[in-house]
Amino acid sequence: MKVHHFQALVLGALCLGAAVLAAETYNHHQQLTVIEAAARDSPADPAPALRRDIDALNSKVVTLQPQIAALGDAQNQHATAQTALDQQLEELAASVRALQATPPGPSSAQLNSLEQRVGTAEATLTKLTTRPDGPAPATAPAPTTDGKTKAKAPEPPFTLQGVETRGAVRFVAALPAGAHALTSVHLLQPGDSLNGWQLRAIRDDQAVFHIPGHGDRTLPLP
């Protein structure tokens, strides 16, 4: 009986030990499963991805360097063109100011001076027309050609008012006979004609006219 009892105790101890060992083995297996799952779920090492991003960024920088250089050249060309354009605009503005400063025609002071001279000439003409006739001075007989007396040159059909200068061009101001308005004054250049008298030349204080059939005649300028 004692032998059987001892065997039963030994067998029970062995079964208990086997059960404890199985339980520990199961626990270790469960822990290993959890560790493997955690290892699978844990993020990968970021170092390789970071190196790939850095390499890609370096490649982009190398690619962008020629574009940056081209952009700098284009900016320099734009600055040069802008400087040239500013200079042209300044020259154009200076030309416009010069044109604005140049009078397009006779000034009001010149017109007033001409009007005063015309008024003086009109007053002189009025005095001449109202002066009483005196005895005609004796004149020597003109030389004859083929027994005929040369025809006397007619009187000018206008009154000279003076010389007007516009730029480098000189004009003779002439008021037709019988006219009194300032608007009737004619500005004549050499080659122009008024009432059949053609202006040939303008001198310092004289004007030379050609009269058809009578030749040239020199008139004093006031």
CATH code, domain carrying 120: 2.30.30
Please check whether residue 143 lies inside any domain of the structure: no
Domain with 124 in it: 108-129+155-220
Task: Quote the number of domains for the chain.
Answer: 1
pLDDT tens-digit map of 4-46: 667 777 787 888 878 878 788 888 778 878 887 876 776 666 6
Side by side, the strands of the sheet bearing 206-211 are: 193-194, 197-202, 206-211, 215-220
SS3 state of residue 152: coil
Q: What stretch of H or E contains 45? A: none
Query: How many Cβ atoms sit within 10 Å of the Cβ of residue 198?
Result: 16
Distance CA 160, CA 206 (A): 10
Residue 63 lies in a domain: no
Is 82 contained in some domain?
Answer: no
Dihedrals phi, psi of 153, to nearest 5 degrees: -65, 140
Asked if residue 61 belongs to a domain, the reply is: no
Prediction pTM value: 0.34
How big, in percent rounded to 5, are the helix, strand and coil portions of the chain? 55, 20, 25
Contact assessment for residue 214 and residue 200, using Cβ atoms and an 8 Å cutoff: no
Shortest CA distance to 165 belongs to which of 106, 92, 125? 106
Q: Are 221 and 172 in contact (CB under 8 A)?
A: yes
Residue 110 has pLDDT above 70, yes or no: no
Residue 118 forms part of a structural domain: yes
Residue 146 lies in a domain: no
Indicate if the alpha-carbon torsion angle 30, 35, 38, 44 is positive or negative: negative
pLDDT in tens, 42-82: 666 667 878 888 888 888 878 888 888 888 888 888 888 88
What letter represents residue 42's amino acid?
S
- Domain presence at residue 26: no
Residue 23 lies in a domain: no
**How far apart are alpha carbons 106 and 114 in whole angstroms?**
10
